Amino acid sequence: MSRRRQIYEGKAKILYEGPEPGTLIQYFKDDATAFNAQKKGTISGKGVLNNRISEHIFTLLGNIGVPTHFIRRLNMREQLIRQVEIVPIEVVVRNVAAGSISKRLGIEEGTQLPRTIIEYYYKDDALGDPMIAEEHIACFGWASQDEMNDIADMAVRINDFLSGLFAGIGIRLVDFKLEFGRLWENDFSRIILADEISPDGCRLWDMATNEKLDKDRFRRDLGGEAEAYQDVARRLGLLPEGETAVLDLETHRKKRGK
Ligand code: TMP
């Protein structure tokens, strides 16, 4: 395979130059990190599953009119995306208390929130992604007021849609993280959904048992993370019942050095 120019390497994905101007190739790794990369590991087959899961969710969101960077999946670990200027804000939507909000405010994990909360974090690894208020975003010019209105509107729509999608397959959407980007067209830009939506950046609990089906299995050393991601993919109809053949095939290829 010819070497493509690498544009950026993150903790879980690599971005390469795309085939046409304005496009990129997003490659999904098996690498997993937590606590601002203080904890590192791999989840076997995660990249393949997240590529499929994110493709599926972005396609469905596109169908209901949420603009996204997704163009099409290219192969097991890569998708073609639109190049955007990433807004340096992580948008976290919470329906149920868990993780940092439980810790910070002393709310028991699993408490249903009386209303959905949207939080913003400044995307800066050196600072450990600190939580910020909209005041900071306006003050430091990270996004305009119009852009923030679009971001908040989309976050609410995405939450409503995904909460229903997951409820339909017996999963509670506890919380999740979104990233947005500016798509430039001539001198104008508009905000579209970027990055990925997968069990890496969502809390997904089985509705019947409260079992965690997301990256908390890795963060909290619970084990069974690959199986949990597979379960999510299977319930979304992306893996034939009881089949992990695609993943096995890939492992097989790797072993043979291809
Ligand atoms: P938190 O409870 O740790 O703040 O996480 C809230 C949600 O955001 C959870 O679903 C995991 C996701 N998340 C990321 O995707 N990346 C991050 O760096 C962090 C801190 C959280």
Angle between helices 245-255 and 46-63 (to 10 degrees): 140
- Over residues 132-145, the mean pLDDT reads 98
Q: What does R_g of the chain's alpha carbons equal in angstroms?
A: 18
Angle between helices 46-63 and 145-167 (to 10 degrees): 110
Please tell me if the CB atom of residue 93 comes closer than 6 angstroms to any atom of ligand 1. Answer: no
Ligand 1 geometric centre to CA of 237 (Å): 25
CA-to-CA distance for 48 and 246, rounded, in angstroms?
9
Domains annotated for the chain, with CATH where assigned, are 6-84+229-242 (3.30.200.20), 85-206 (3.30.470.20)
Flag whether pLDDT at 241 surpasses 90: no
> Whose CA is closest to atom 14 on ligand 1?
201
pLDDT at 102: 98
- Over residues 130-141, the mean pLDDT reads 98
111, 175, 177: residue to mutate for ligand 1 pocket, most atoms within 8 A of CB: 177
Point out the ligand 1 atom lying closest to the alpha carbon of residue 99.
2
CA-to-CA distance for 54 and 70, rounded, in angstroms?
9
Residues 189-236 have pLDDT tens digits of 999 999 999 999 999 999 999 999 999 999 999 999 999 999 999 999
- Over residues 127-144, the mean pLDDT reads 98
CA-to-CA distance for 121 and 38, rounded, in angstroms?
18
Please tell me if the CB atom of residue 212 comes closer than 6 angstroms to any atom of ligand 1. Answer: no
pLDDT at 240: 76
What residues contact 139, with CB distance under 8 A and at least 6 apart?
A: none
Residues 48-91 have pLDDT tens digits of 999 999 999 999 999 999 999 999 999 999 999 999 999 999 99
Ligand 1 geometric centre to CA of 126 (Å): 16
Point out the ligand 1 atom lying closest to the alpha carbon of residue 176.
10
Percent with pLDDT over 90 in the chain? 91
Flag whether pLDDT at 13 surpasses 80: yes
Please tell me if the CB atom of residue 199 comes closer than 6 angstroms to any atom of ligand 1. Answer: no
Across the chain, what does the average pLDDT equal?
Answer: 95
pLDDT at 246: 59
pLDDT at 219: 98
> Whose CA is closest to atom 4 on ligand 1?
100
Q: How confident is the model at residue 258 (pLDDT cuts 50, 70, 90)?
A: very low
3-class state of residue 141 by DSSP: coil
Tokens of 159: 């939450």
Residue reference for tokens 């919380």: 175
Q: How confident is the model at residue 255 (pLDDT cuts 50, 70, 90)?
A: low
